[in-house]
Amino acid sequence: MGPVPSGYASGADIAALLVLLTEFAMLRAPQLRSQVRLYGFQSFVVVVLTLVTGAVRGYSDLYILAGLSLLLKVVIVPALMFRLLRQLDVDQLHHPAGGGGGSMVLVAIAASAFGFFVLRSLDFRSKVLPTATLSVSLAIVLVAFVLVILRSDVVSQAVGFFSLENGVSIVSMAIAAGLPVVVEVSFLFDLLVAVVVFALIMRAHHARAGTLSTEALDRLRG
Amino acid sequence: MHAVIVALFVVPLVAVVLSYVVPVKVGPPVSAVAGIASFGLCVALVSTASAGTEHALGSFLRLDALSEVFLLATTFLYAATAVFASGYLERPKGAAGERYSRRFWAGFNLFCAAMVAAPLMNGLASLWVAVEVTTVVSALLVAIDGTDEAIEASWKYVLIASLGLSLALFATIVMYYAGSSFFAGSYNLSYTNLLSGASHFSPGAVRLAFVLAVLGFGTKMGLVPMHTWLPDAHSEAPSPVSALLSGALLAVCFYAILRYFQVTVRAVGPGFPRALMAGFGVASLLLAALYLLSQRDMKRLFAYSSVEHMGIIAIGTSFGAPIALFGVLLHVLAHGAAKGTAFFGAGSVVRKFGTKDMDKVQGGASVLPWSATMLVAAVLALSALPPFGIFRSEFLVVEGGLSSGEDALSAVLVVLVTVAFFGLSWFTTQTMLTGAPASEAATRGAAAGKDGTLARGEVSPWIVVAMVAGLAALVLLGVHLPGDLTALLRHAASQLLPGGTSTRGVQ
């Protein structure tokens, strides 16, 4: 396996950065629908990266993975979430993006810088993707945590978890491209099950509390 | 023995389908039979597992001494909890009741099937998938009662556990990376590959994988500070689900950590993984011991007691002496039996008094002559009093700590366990062994008589049967360990040592 071709390398970097920027947009998105749309876009970027990597680096398994990811993460998951939002007839939250969007972005920048430098010090080498992509993907994982922790509605928290999975997909492409495809597919299947369960519990929460905000979820303490 | 391993994997899955399609009344006995059959199959495998490693269904399933220990704990709770739940759940009334009952039993069996599958999986990737399945199924079971509190607990649980498991997935990928230069090319994460190659893995990557695995699976095991979902989920779930969460699920997640531990001690030596386990163990034990002193809710009390015991298990693992590891594995079995029995007793109290608030429960032993008495016994067992199994296991853990020169850590362990003992025993004796129940509480109770007092008598004989089984197991583990079990635990403990012998292939 030769060195990473330079045109492909910069393409991969741009794709990873786009994924990270999408996550920053999620931090600020006031509407739940736009949150889901951003997730669909993010997944699409990951699918394209998977396809191109499969073609350039010669891993034909990645085509299968890209096809299934497209179906699941770009079509089925957003469709399920849109359907849920339509049925519950909510879009705008009463208290959009609690805690001040600006400081949230600052925390996210700190987290992504941390991820970027930690990975450099670990001396991981990817045979498939440029090392910078790997650093960005760790930043994606960390910012997803910020998203889940700081957003105060169940939809954004769920979308944060799904985009965390996108970050882990890029990591897995970078350092474990040889992972048997049946394993990758079972990971995807698991995501689908998780999405369904998330949606069921969100629906139950909305039925009881009449809102998708997490402010009502404060009974259990100590 | 291949057929027995396959049967152990398949029986719970068959029960999932059966309990959903058969008439509602038949669901509980079907599940109980499946649970007891699984436990029987598991007991039949004890000597096979101590003799070496067995594969079944190609190399999809794998059994060795370490997985057998966790299978014993899981299948025992599967059997006991199925019997308990047959008595605990009220007879379904109307269409809604029937739907609830079908959902409960299908989910119950699926939860158990996933927990039985996890230790049987041959490889870190399929192990992760099995643990993830336990999360989604048990989150639905936590929410099944549909109260505000149950849904809140379920959301916190599914969100925090899924985030944790994403880290565990990350750990799986990094572990794959750690071995990729040694195996050169595509390989699978089977234990045979990992254990034979571990000493050639890249040490930095193995360290990172272990940290991520402890954070990820540790979230589900209830290690502080990732434990925050645990008291909520354990207290708001229906009592049978609480028993399974606490006694079996936490153990299965510990098993996942141990598989990473096994690879890590071979790749980078025992110092690093043991130090990490010690840190999380002390944090868990300390926080849980303090929280145990301030609980008002009986099931929350037992939930924090689970965090405490997971702390003891983590510290015991960090001692590294064979005798301490033997104690840790015995502790997994004994804690499963004791915590199961405690939650069965709590379930009985909830059904009788209609509340789990300990301020409102008084004189338990005078209205529940059997289950309240056995609840007190289970609490004494949890506090490591003889003649119960936890006394023996904690004794061995401390002995192992002292023999490996960890005097300070052993002393911390003994002190914090004593603090936890005060919290647990004070509240339980206050609610169970005091005078007659107050009439205010009695009016809320399901079984309240016309004069406002609670009728003396058990909720269901099946609850008593399940609790007797749990206590019998605890006494057996404490008084006389069967020879086969001793051999099994010794083999399993030896697998966790740096020069472990688990790769012996006996086909």
B125 contacts on A by Cβ (under 8 Å): 179-180, 183, 186
Q: Which residues contact B424 (CB under 8 A, 6 or more apart)?
A: B292, B301, B305, B379, B382, B383
pTM of the model: 0.93
Report the alpha-carbon distance of residue B250 to residue B340 in Å, rounded: 12
Nearest chain B CA: its distance from A100 CA (Å): 23
Q: Are B489 and B379 in contact (CB under 8 A)?
A: no
Using one digit for the tens of pLDDT, what is the confidence trace for A142-153? Answer: 999 998 888 888
The mean-pLDDT minimum among A54-58, B270-274, B308-312, B337-341 falls in A54-58
Give the pLDDT band of residue B506 (cuts 50, 70, 90): very low
Per-residue confidence (pLDDT) for residue A89, from 0 to 100: 79
DSSP, res B248: I
B432: left (phi over 0), alpha (psi -120 to 50) or beta: alpha
The answer to whether residue A218 sits within a structural domain is no
Q: Where are the domains of chain B?
A: 1-120, 123-269, 311-499
Q: Residue B11's closest CA among B85, B81, B75? A: B75
Quote the crossing angle between the two packed helices B203-221 and B148-183, to the nearest 10°: 160
ipTM: 0.90
Tell me the pairing of strands B61-63 and B54-56. Answer: antiparallel
Residue B235's closest CA among B331, B145, B172?
B145
Alpha helices in B184-249 (DSSP H): 191-197, 203-221, 230-236, 239-244
| pLDDT given for residue B453 in this prediction | 64
CA distance A215 to chain B (A): 11
Q: What is the dihedral of CA A144, A148, A150, A154, to 10 degrees?
A: 140
pLDDT digits (tens, 9 = 90+) for B247-300: 999 999 999 999 999 999 999 999 999 999 999 999 999 999 999 998 889 999
In a domain, A194, yes or no: yes
* Cβ burial, residue B435 (10 Å; 0-12/13-18/19+): exposed
Question: Distances in Å between the alpha carbon of A134 and those of A118, A131, A172, B105?
Answer: 11, 5, 9, 44
B165 and B131 Cβ atoms separated by less than 8 Å: yes
Q: Check B187 against A178: CB less than 8 A apart.
A: yes
Confidence of residue B447 (pLDDT cuts 50, 70, 90): very low
pLDDT above 50 (res B242): yes
Cα separation, B406 vs B477, in Å, equals: 26
Here the tokens at position B282 are: 């002390």
Residue A222 lies in a domain: no
Number of domain units in chain A: 1
Q: Decide if pLDDT at A94 tops 70.
A: no
- Rounded to a whole number of angstroms, the distance from the CA of B92 to the nearest CA of chain A is 22
Q: DSSP states of B65-114 as a string?
A: HHHHHHHHHHHHHHHHHHHHHHHHSPPP-HHHHHHHHHHHHHHHHHHHHH
Please tell me the total number of residues recorded for chain B in this structure: 507
pLDDT, position A91: 64
Residue A220 lies in a domain: no
Task: Report pLDDT for B457.
Answer: 84
The residues facing A153 across adjacent strands are A213
Nearest to B13 by CA among B92, B97, B94, B117: B117
Helix runs in B433-460, H state only: 439-444
Q: Which residues of B touch A190 (CB under 8 A)?
A: 129, 132-133
d(CA B357, CA B353): 10
Please compute the mean of the pLDDT values over residues A25-34 and round it to a whole number: 86
Digit-coded pLDDT (tens) for B462-496: 999 999 999 999 999 999 999 999 999 999 999 99
The Cα B40–Cα B34 span in angstroms is 10
pLDDT in tens, A157-194: 999 999 999 999 888 888 887 787 888 888 888 888 88
User: Which residue of B122, B144, B147, B173 to mutate against A (max A Cβ within 10 Å)?
Assistant: B173
Domain that holds residue A166: 6-209
Q: CB–CB of A140/A167 below 8 Å?
A: yes
DSSP assignment, residue B460?
A: -
Q: Closest chain B residue to A145 measured between Cα atoms?
A: B163
